[in-house]
Structure 1
């Protein structure tokens, strides 16, 4: 959905909820605060055409881009305030800012610009005793501060605060809504040999159909007289798996009475089944995902006291509790 469509939906969803407030009186269609703000702007706009420098004619309109923030932005703000009264279906916000919010920003920025000019003039006069700029900067500073009072402090000053009481409640623009939380990126996992894991991918047990092996069955699958590998291959149906001995592949045998966690470390990937749900964490101990007894987990590296486990979606972490793990 494009920004224009979102804005149209926002405008359409604005269902005014009026509250019981006494009537507000003003001058024509404008409130007292709006009339005062327009009057401040008219004086500031006229004064802006006078020279701001001593000895030569140089108004703010001819001083590079100074006029943009000094007088043009407040002019746009006042124009939007007037247009809001004369055309209620017209522009009602600038970006995510309402008209009054934009006016507060406009007059605040303009006041800072004129304050900077006054500061520079006074500093230079203290050092040299000469005044470089005219009375215009002082008048403009006072007028812009008056605009700040009427916009930023308006909701706190009677009778201007009547202009903000009893306004209809509308949904907030999406840019003005609370921000979304940012989740930390998962830690980078060590890369493994793709050829090793691909051999085991062909014999991957289906999720939810993990068989349970007894100690006697594990002992039968690893005889003492030969070295074989037990893999799970499909027998006669998709949900039935039987152990198949492949003498061509050799592994180190594990004694039937020897715990799995005490077996020699294997650098070849294998499938593992834990007796209960356990956390797989990253390098600093933050849980990345969980594995349980309902599905096999692919171990890409056996580090003795910990397994390096890879999730189905590619995430990799460390399983530190390797007690009672069934190897497949």
Structure 2
């Protein structure tokens, strides 16, 4: 489960659900006992208000769980009864907001006063009902909740995703296969550095791994949410899915789309480059 796929809107829905759970333990109504006049209070877990508990508090927790599974769980992209998990989360959140509004403003039994739990239930019920449908529409709520991780410090000359010599084949350079290097002699005449005995020339790098054209500077980037990568010659054919927390190399640009290369060498078109984080 990769929580970096969550957006700020998702975080607002989850946070509101948690706060609704906390509010359910606070006094919802307070009243004076008709027998001795003592002040008493009850929260949503009392049997008298049980219809409100599953309709507001427990439903909000279900909406938050649907948000998490829609972004990070094994059910990403799946549908249940014809609706995606995101659509279910929006529908349940709107139901929570309406029920909280009705239960706190229009349900006023005689002889009772509203407690702190009552007003907090109204507040966070409205928050979850607003945040859920707007989480994929407002740019401020579509931004990643945690952001992509910064690349780890690499030895000089290595970029994100490249491994030093201890973890992979050495880079071409002096003393390594394919690493012929010009060396100045004492007389000022350059000569070719000798290869180790029995070493073979390394194969040239494939064209896809070479740098882009001169009018574009390649850069590393990470996506805020999972996004498909399409074939260059067939915009409708998906060849990979870019996931948050992984760095990819942008090698060219076509309008607003990027030509991206995955760590296994596959190259395709990232049609949606909004919200990416540059390395």
TM tier, shorter chain?
0.3 to 0.5
More strand, by proportion: 2
Whose relative contact order is higher, 1 or 2, with alpha carbons under 8 Å and at least 6 apart?
2
Normalised to the residue count of structure 2, the TM-score between the two structures is 0.42
Normalised to the residue count of structure 1, the TM-score between the two structures is 0.37
More helix, by proportion: 1
